[in-house]
């Protein structure tokens, strides 16, 4: 396992632990991590997490695996921001997939990690062929010197908060619902890489942001906020319009590309790591008859995005104004 630690934790130190894929680190995950930290503090134990890379579905059925909400880097950053003490990154491979439930509990949880308190989701499965469940975990826990508890599902308007529900909202362009379930705007981060310079030729220069996965959970044209473009002030958001898709007007069989046009911005930012928050979907991706029609549509997209930010600022100011 690869390990990130907030502070030095000696080997064989008892820990409080939770296990999961944590894709998106959404509000359900956040509630789980809060409970983990609260219990760990009460028991004076380090609060730790096991997560997997790659996602088991990506390992077994890569062509059928769902789109990731977060890259490994993004997920780790979100977990670190929750102020837990330790993250174990478990490499999911054939050897790990063959571990039976009893060996997973005895060899990994007990002998390797010295778990004293374990929190899992109410649908948790583990071991080869996912043959272990919560009942088996409870039966094995006392002999291996730890307590196990199940975390009930967290809901939003009666719907279980899950990575699947967030993917569904993003795929349909419902960014407001995705934001509610995540507890923040949906974000993609990546380094600015060299592109084909088409945006500059069309009069709308773009930052081409490297995607970690070829199957993003959303596509289309969006109003976005971009962080990291100003090196001296990386936390300052800049308004922009973004295109995420295969660019059918210029490519017949293109791979997904994330391009961002920052308003009134002319700095060189190649190599910088940007974070793009998706705030509002303007339209679906479309194929245009020629570049002139594409330019006209981009002009409309930019105008709509600017109107979105103007309306958002006006609404924000009115909400903060004294009565």
What are the C-alpha distances in Å from 235 to residues 196, 228, 230, 295, 299?
28, 6, 8, 31, 28
What pLDDT sits at residue 303?
A: 97
Q: For residues 261 and 289, is the Cβ–Cβ distance under 8 A?
A: no
Residue located via tokens 């995005």: 305
Give the pair of three-digit tokens for residue 202: 């069309």
Q: Which helix (H) or strand (E) holds 221?
A: strand 220-227
Rounded mean pLDDT, 138-152? 96
- The CATH-assigned architecture of domain 186-320 is Beta Barrel (2.40)
Q: Give the residue with greater pLDDT, 317 vs 274.
A: 274
Band the pLDDT of 320: cuts 50, 70, 90: low
Question: pLDDT at position 182, please?
Answer: 98
Share of the chain above pLDDT 70, in %: 96
- Examine the pLDDT at 10 and tell me if it is beyond 90: no
Are 135 and 141 within 8 A, CB to CB? no
Q: Compute the Cα dihedral for 227, 231, 233, 234 and give only its sign.
A: positive
pLDDT of residue 62: 86
The residues spanned by each domain of the chain are 2-159, 186-320
Tens-place pLDDT, residues 183-229: 999 999 999 998 877 778 888 999 999 998 778 999 999 999 999 99
pLDDT score of 323: 42
pLDDT for 233-280, tens place per residue? 999 999 999 999 988 887 767 789 999 999 999 889 999 999 999 999
Query: How distant, in Å, are the alpha carbons of 74, 221, 271 from that of 78?
Result: 6, 25, 22
pLDDT in tens, 271-312: 999 999 999 999 999 999 899 999 999 999 999 999 999 998
| Residues 81-113 pLDDT 10s | 999 999 999 999 999 999 999 999 999 999 999
16 has pLDDT over 90: yes
Q: Which CATH class is domain 2-159?
A: alpha beta
- With 70 as the cut, is the pLDDT of residue 322 above it? no
Alpha helices in the chain (DSSP H): 27-43, 56-60, 72-81, 94-97, 101-103, 134-141, 163-171, 175-182, 198-201, 291-320
Instruction: Decide if 2-159 and 186-320 have a common fold.
Output: no
C-beta of residue 88 within 8 angstroms of C-beta of residue 48: yes
Q: Is the CB of residue 206 less than 8 Å from the CB of residue 260? A: yes
Q: Which residue has the higher pLDDT, 271 or 319?
A: 271
* DSSP per-residue string spanning 86-104: EEEEEE--HHHHT--HHHI
Which of 269, 275, 262 is closest to 309 using CA atoms? 262
């Amino acid at each position: 396992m690869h390990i990130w630690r907030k502070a030095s934790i000696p080997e064989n130190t008892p820990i409080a632990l939770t296990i999961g894929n944590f894709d998106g680190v959404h509000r359900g995950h956040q509630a789980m991590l809060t409970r983990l930290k609260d219990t760990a503090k009460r028991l004076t134990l380090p609060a730790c997490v096991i997560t997997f890379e790659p996602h088991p579905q990506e390992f077994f059925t890569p062509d059928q695996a769902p789109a990731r909400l977060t890259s490994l880097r993004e997920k780790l950053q979100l977990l670190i921001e929750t102020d837990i003490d330790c993250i174990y990154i478990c490499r999911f491979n054939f050897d790990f997939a063959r571990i039976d439930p009893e060996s997973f509990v005895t060899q990994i949880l007990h002998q390797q990690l010295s778990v004293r308190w374990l929190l899992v989701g109410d649908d948790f499965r583990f071991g080869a062929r996912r043959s272990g469940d919560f009942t088996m975990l409870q039966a094995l826990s006392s002999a291996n010197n730890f307590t196990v508890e199940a975390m009930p599902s967290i809901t939003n308007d009666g719907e279980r908060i899950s990575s699947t529900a967030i993917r569904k909202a993003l795929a349909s362009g419902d960014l407001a619902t995705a934001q509610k379930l995540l507890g923040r705007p949906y974000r993609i981060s990546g380094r600015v890489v060299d592109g084909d310079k088409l945006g500059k030729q069309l009069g709308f220069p773009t930052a081409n942001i490297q995607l970690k996965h070829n199957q993003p959970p959303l596509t289309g044209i969006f109003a976005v906020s971009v962080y990291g473009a100003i090196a001296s002030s990386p936390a300052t958001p800049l308004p922009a319009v973004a295109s995420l898709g295969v660019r059918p007007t210029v490519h017949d069989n293109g791979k997904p590309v994330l391009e961002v046009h920052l308003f009134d911005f002319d700095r060189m930012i190649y190599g910088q790591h940007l974070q793009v928050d998706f705030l509002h979907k303007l339209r679906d991706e479309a194929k245009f008859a020629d570049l002139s029609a594409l330019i006209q549509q981009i002009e409309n997209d930019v105008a709509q995005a600017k109107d979105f930010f103007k309306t958002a600022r006006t609404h924000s100011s009115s909400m903060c104004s004294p009565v």
